[in-house]
Amino acid sequence: MLRFISYTTADLHSANLGELSLPCDDSVAIWSRAGRAQPGRASVALVVESTINIFRNEEKSERFEAGDVIFSEGDPADRFYVVREGTVTLSAQGRELEQVGPGGIFGELGLLDRAPRSATATAETDCDVVALDERGFIYHVSQTPFFALTVMKVLADRLRRESARAVA
């Protein structure tokens, strides 16, 4: 399953990023403005699925069995995670917030603000995840700027979703 993040050229210019051109592996589909999946090079679309490609060959990963708690609400936070395989369920105060699958990230908030974990992450299925500490995060942001945009998009989506739930 591919998940798409779309940015217009105007969005990229207003962020002072100028023209953005991402080389992509031909196995990664880029969603065009015309609505077709296109392999190869993209200038106005970013793909969350590409996140997993950054970490595909990462040697250090952590494996969790279904039901394992990766971290608990209130725990200290010094890293965040990228799911390579499996599904992780995020919950807070006993309420399921979302499920994160391959290419998805979780735990980013704690790394960015260093506050205790605001949610619990539990392996829904057997999982393989890559953990990034602050140093690793800074490295990946500097080497692959679209990674930072992906993290911001995830944060924005989660904030919007929780705001909508609060109003409902």
**Ranges of each domain in the chain:** 1-47, 59-168
pLDDT digits (tens, 9 = 90+) for 76-128: 999 999 999 999 999 999 999 999 998 888 999 888 888 999 999 999 999 99
Say what the pLDDT of residue 68 is: 98
Say what the pLDDT of residue 150 is: 84
Q: 35: left (phi > 0), else alpha (psi -120 to 50), else beta?
A: left
CA–CA gap between residue 42 and residue 145 (Å, rounded) = 14
Whether the per-residue pLDDT at 14 is higher than 60: the answer is no
Say what the pLDDT of residue 53 is: 67
Q: Which amino acid is at 6?
A: S
Whether the per-residue pLDDT at 51 is higher than 90: the answer is no
Say what the pLDDT of residue 123 is: 98
Mean pLDDT of 133-149: 87
Q: Which CATH architecture has domain 59-168?
A: Sandwich (2.60)
If DSSP codes are grouped into helix, strand and coil, which group holds residue 52? helix
Q: How confident is the model at residue 12 (pLDDT cuts 50, 70, 90)?
A: very low
Among 157, 103, 158, which residue's Cα sits nearest to residue 127? Answer: 103
Among 73, 76, 27, 55, which residue's Cα sits nearest to residue 139? Answer: 55
